[in-house]
Amino acid sequence: MITDDPGTPDAGRWEINISFNTELLDSQKELEAPLLDINYGLDSHTQLKVEVPYILEWSRGEGWDDRFGHVTPGIKYRLFDEEETGVSVSFYPQISIATEEGVRNEYHIPVEMEVSLGAFCFGTDIRYVYINGEEDVVEHGLLAGYSLGKGLDVMMELAYGIGVEKVHSASGVLNFGLRYELSEMVTFISSMGTGIFQAGEEHVDFISFTGIQLNL
């Protein structure tokens, strides 16, 4: 899901996500084919991460192009555990390093929170995105999940971003997803959604995420 969770891998364990993702607009189509997201549990509360997509992009009038997208390293530190405080909270700074000439780096400063109530799970992710020379953005996600048992979870979320200087430039998506644990080491993950409001930009017709998570 777009809304990140505060969980981290166990110390010395790897979590590797391999996914194929789409974002479709009227005049542009972008595919991450694939997105590779590698995470490592440095200790019981700290996660190291690096993420890189290979992007296929179609633009009206220009056709198809392909390139590697931003390389994004980060470190997540879990401040509170739900077992001890009733809520899980993590701090997760990241930097998206531009791989294209003329494109600026992005600095993400997010905080994630999550709480479980029986079979239900509720989470939120709020982050400040700093882009040197461009308008900063505050992004927020709200997620609700439900465990159907036998390793199957379903989720829905509202995720949106608001320009710091131009509040009316908000844009958001409604997204639905599932995760199914195929084995102790392999989990299938998928989601799809659509834009529900878009100010000053093209409407997002469709987004999707399909992949597997390896826990090693």
User: What average pLDDT does this structure show over 189-198?
Assistant: 91
- pLDDT at res. 168: 60
- Does a structural domain hold residue 121? yes
- Does a structural domain hold residue 3? no
Q: What is the CATH number of the domain that holds 173?
A: 2.40.160.40
- Does a structural domain hold residue 5? no
- Does a structural domain hold residue 174? yes
- pLDDT at res. 131: 84
105 vs 132: CA distance, rounded Å: 7
Q: Which residues contact 215 (CB under 8 A, 6 or more apart)?
A: 9, 13, 14, 15, 184, 185, 186, 187
User: What average pLDDT does this structure show over 93-120?
Assistant: 92
DSSP secondary structure code for residue 185 in this structure: S
- Does a structural domain hold residue 100? yes
Confidence of residue 184 (pLDDT cuts 50, 70, 90): very high
* Range with the poorest average pLDDT among 6-15, 152-161, 166-175: 166-175
Q: Please tell me the total count of domains within the chain.
A: 1
- pLDDT at res. 199: 64
Tokens 């003329």, located at residue: 102
- Token pair recorded at residue 42: 């440095």
Give 18-60 pLDDT, tens digit per residue. 999 999 987 789 999 999 999 999 999 999 999 999 999 988 8
- Does a structural domain hold residue 117? yes
Tokens 């392909």, located at residue: 66
pLDDT at 68 over 80: yes
Domain of 110, in residue numbers: 14-215
**Residue 90: which of 149, 5, 156 has the closest Cα?**
5
- Does a structural domain hold residue 166? yes
pLDDT at 198 over 80: no
User: What average pLDDT does this structure show over 98-110?
Assistant: 88
- Does a structural domain hold residue 8? no
